[in-house]
Chain A
Amino acid sequence: MAEESVPEILQLNDDCLEEIFDRLQDLHSEVAFSQTCQRMQHICLSKWRISRAYEQLDLDKWREMLPNYEDLVYFLAQMRPYLKEMCASSCLCALLKDLDEMQITVLPRVTSFYYDPEDVDCYPSNRSIRKLSELLPGLQKLRLTTPIDGRFLSHFEHLQELHLYEDQHKAYELQQEYLDEICQKLHDLKVLDIRTYDVISKLQLGNCLQSLRNLTVLKLNLATLKPVLPAVLELPSLRQLVVLLDNEWHIPPLVSPDSYDHKIREVGEFYDIMERKAKDIVGFAVDGYYMPLEPGWDAELPIWAHRKLKRLAICSWSHAADYLERYTCMENLRLLCLRNWNELSDDILLRFVELCPHLEHLDVSYCRELTPNFLPRALEILKQREPRKPMPGYRHTAPLLLYYVLSGFEDFIDKTNLKSSPDYRGYIVFTADFPFGSERGLSFVDRGYQFEFDCP
């Protein structure tokens, strides 16, 4: 008779209860359902835990999903052990206080925190940073671009990535003593971004480098790099070095904007890296707007002997494009970015499509001189190379991703809806975006240069 005492709904198996859950389709109802009994709570939690909608805690968004405070507190308490990512755009101090009130003191599995405040007047205090380190003891990736001096950042003991830079907006730096502390205490650190945009950086790495043996990505200002360049290049795990040219804008009031020299004439380190690491360089990117590059700048580069380039980005080039053809010898090119070239023609670009069979990303955003004729000609080359591509069951290479924002054929692609064209399917994918890992806008790497190394 024990069977009779079990409510009929609880005689359903878990599959059936999950089917009912799937049809509730609003979080408030799901919360009420989970609060009825332990079994329903278990069912609901098992669905919430695997839902991508709740993978990342964004308290502002969750408040909108659950306007009832009790519901929100309950849902957070249930999800607390499973959250892996967290982001915030409101005041960090207020956020931490709210979590305190909800008795959320630790989020043990959160490994990533992205702080992108909308209110620029609310900067986190050191005490907030310390509280954050207690809240997120397992944090591995931290992005925090507001002005902080760096105290208590070393309390994130398992940190692997520290991103302190925001594109074109960073004007404050860590204090040197706290940068030293971060480098010396965070043994797992792999990615460090300490760039500063609006001032000449005063940070130094002299006391830090011997601790950064696991560093794979370093992003810094040239002023910081200069005194330690040889030591940086000897970091055993370094795969990517991104250098931001320092600049302080002191434009004299009477100068003409047309004749003002915006070039940052600091190229010594750039050529030094090319020389020292020639055999390991598999990628480089350079911003032609700020770098004083003239035709022939690359004629004697030591990388020609090795031909290992897989990623190449030369942006904002204002001279003739015919010299570019020398790079077609880099048969292993995977990514080619020629953003904002004044005189890039169809013919030169087609040479790359023809001679670089592994090309996967082609970024020609802002190249106004390209014409729609490039597209069928490029398609023809790709089809000759792999004629059977669209056929099912045929194992084929990835299509060419073509980034075309404000290029000479953008209008053509949009008007003829080439993105959906069956002719191009499998061969070219048109994308109105920028390649992953590149800066937005006119240059792959903003106001500086970037190197990628082949690291064993």
Chain B
Amino acid sequence: MPNIQLQSSDGEVFNIDSETAKCSSTIRNLIEDCGLESEENPLIPLPNVNSTILSKVLIWANHHRAEKAEKTEENSGKDEASAVVRSSDVISAWDAEFLTVDQGTLFELILAANYLDIKELLSVACMTVANMIKGHTAEEIRQTFHIPNDFSPSEEELLHKDRDNEPVIPEVESSYVFNLNKGSPNFKFELDLLGNF
């Protein structure tokens, strides 16, 4: 089974070699669980991914398969999972360029990566969004992503509690007053403590 066919939600069919397609755990499990290994060019429907996004996912998968083949020689003996973790800590230049898209496409790629269970793509795409959030205030984040503020006025107040607007609280008594036990051999020591204040 060198090739498989993937059908997007809008009916378009993509022909792809099976090893590249197996970067998706969803597709890999489907092939294995349904015994499609022995079939010639099986057709797998992907009702949750449209053709635009699927084609981009396949571009990404093809690029990374080639890259992984190179890295396998360098990292022989280390398992695939650790390689995935290492590469998702930092976004490569290629991935950064690939993910320079409008927000709608970016989020659709995230959803597709989640549905297809492609951990590495999900990781770098989510990291891209996280980088747009880091270091910004709530209002700036809302503006970036057009998120409406749906907190009620009382909830909004809780978001912005600060010291200056708090009611005055009566002073708590001194922490250095405690009962003296005059029979205690340490009475003198206790007096010394109080004497300091």
Which A positions have Cβ atoms within 8 angstroms of B? Answer: 7-13, 15-16, 19-20, 22-26, 29, 32-33, 35-38, 40, 69-70, 73-74, 77, 91-94, 96-97, 100-103, 121-128, 131, 147-149, 151, 171-173, 175, 199, 202
Bound complex: CA A96 to CA B173 (Å): 11
Interface core residue of A20, A93, A101 (most chain B CB under 10 Å): A20
B169 touches A37 (CB 8 A): no
Give B161-196 as 1s and 0s: 1 = Cβ < 8 Å from A's Cβ atoms.
Answer: 111001001001111111101011110011001001
B9 CB, nearest partner CB in chain A, Å: 15
B6 CB, nearest partner CB in chain A, Å: 21
Q: Does B147 contact A (CB under 8 A)?
A: yes
A11 touches B151 (CB 8 A): no
Give B141-160 as 1s and 0s: 1 = Cβ < 8 Å from A's Cβ atoms.
Answer: 11001111111000100111
Stretch at the interface among B28-36, B38-46, B56-64, B123-131: B123-131
Residues of chain A with a CB closer than 8 A to B107's CB: 8-9, 11-12, 16
Q: Which of A36, A77, A102 has a CB less than 8 Å from the CB of B149?
A: A36
Knowing A29-B134, A102-B161 touch, does A125 contact B142 (C-beta < 8 A)?
Answer: no
Bound complex: CA A16 to CA B155 (Å): 25
Residues of chain A with a CB closer than 8 A to B161's CB: 70, 73-74, 77, 102-103
Knowing A20-B126, A100-B169 touch, does A35 contact B159 (C-beta < 8 A)?
Answer: yes
Residues of chain A with a CB closer than 8 A to B137's CB: 32
Q: Name the CB-closest residue of A to B107.
A: A8
A37 touches B114 (CB 8 A): no
Bound complex: CA A125 to CA B146 (Å): 51
Using a Cβ cutoff of 8 Å, how many contacts connect chains A and B? 153
Residues of chain B with a CB closer than 8 A to A103's CB: 161, 166
Residues of chain B with a CB closer than 8 A to A172's CB: 184, 186
Q: Name the CB-closest residue of A to B169.
A: A100
Residues of chain B with a CB closer than 8 A to A175's CB: 179, 181
Q: Which of A16, A121, A128, A199 has a CB less than 8 Å from the CB of B110?
A: A16
Residues of chain A with a CB closer than 8 A to B158's CB: 74, 77
Q: Does B111 contact A (CB under 8 A)?
A: yes
Q: Which of B130, B150, B166, B190 has a CB less than 8 Å from the CB of A23?
A: B130
Q: Does B135 contact A (CB under 8 A)?
A: yes
A100 CB, nearest partner CB in chain B, Å: 5
Bound complex: CA A202 to CA B122 (Å): 67
Q: Name the CB-closest residue of B to A175.
A: B181
Using C-beta atoms within 8 Å of the partner chain, give the interface range for chain B: 35 or more
B175 touches A33 (CB 8 A): no
Residues of chain A with a CB closer than 8 A to B111's CB: 11-13, 16
Interface core residue of B111, B127, B161, B169 (most chain A CB under 10 Å): B161
Knowing A12-B111, A29-B135, A175-B181 touch, does A92 contact B148 (C-beta < 8 A)?
Answer: no
Q: Which of A25, A26, A32, A126 has a CB less than 8 Å from the CB of B178?
A: A126
Q: Name the CB-closest residue of B to A150.
A: B179
A91 touches B175 (CB 8 A): yes
Q: Does B71 contact A (CB under 8 A)?
A: no
B141 CB, nearest partner CB in chain A, Å: 5
Q: Does B47 contact A (CB under 8 A)?
A: no
Residues of chain A with a CB closer than 8 A to B196's CB: 121
B169 CB, nearest partner CB in chain A, Å: 5
Residues of chain B with a CB closer than 8 A to A173's CB: 181, 184
Interface core residue of A8, A36, A73, A147 (most chain B CB under 10 Å): A36
Residues of chain B with a CB closer than 8 A to A199's CB: 185-186
A432 CB, nearest partner CB in chain B, Å: 29
Q: Which of B138, B155, B162, B193 has a CB less than 8 Å from the CB of A32?
A: B138
B123 CB, nearest partner CB in chain A, Å: 7
Bound complex: CA A173 to CA B133 (Å): 54
A122 touches B175 (CB 8 A): yes
Q: Does B65 contact A (CB under 8 A)?
A: no
A33 CB, nearest partner CB in chain B, Å: 6
Interface core residue of A26, A127, A173 (most chain B CB under 10 Å): A127
Residues of chain A with a CB closer than 8 A to B183's CB: 202
Q: Name the CB-closest residue of A to B113.
A: A16
Residues of chain A with a CB closer than 8 A to B145's CB: 7-9, 36
Q: Does B77 contact A (CB under 8 A)?
A: no
A125 touches B126 (CB 8 A): no
Q: Does B103 contact A (CB under 8 A)?
A: yes
B135 touches A36 (CB 8 A): no
Name 17 A/B residue pairs within 8 A (Cβ), A-sorted: A7-B145, A8-B104, A9-B147, A12-B110, A16-B111, A16-B126, A19-B122, A23-B129, A24-B133, A33-B138, A36-B138, A36-B142, A97-B172, A101-B169, A126-B179, A148-B178, A175-B181
Bound complex: CA A35 to CA B114 (Å): 25
Residues of chain B with a CB closer than 8 A to A22's CB: 126
Knowing A24-B133, A32-B138, A101-B166 touch, does A13 contact B172 (C-beta < 8 A)?
Answer: no
Bound complex: CA A96 to CA B162 (Å): 17
Q: Which of B130, B135, B163 has a CB less than 8 Å from the CB of A20?
A: B130
Bound complex: CA A126 to CA B134 (Å): 45
B146 touches A70 (CB 8 A): no
Bound complex: CA A123 to CA B169 (Å): 21
Interface core residue of B134, B136, B175 (most chain A CB under 10 Å): B175
Interface core residue of B126, B148, B183, B190 (most chain A CB under 10 Å): B126
A sample of 6 more A-B contacts (CB under 8 A), given A8-B103, A9-B129, is: A20-B126, A36-B141, A38-B151, A101-B163, A123-B175, A149-B179
Bound complex: CA A122 to CA B175 (Å): 6
Residues of chain B with a CB closer than 8 A to A149's CB: 178-179, 181
Bound complex: CA A91 to CA B186 (Å): 22
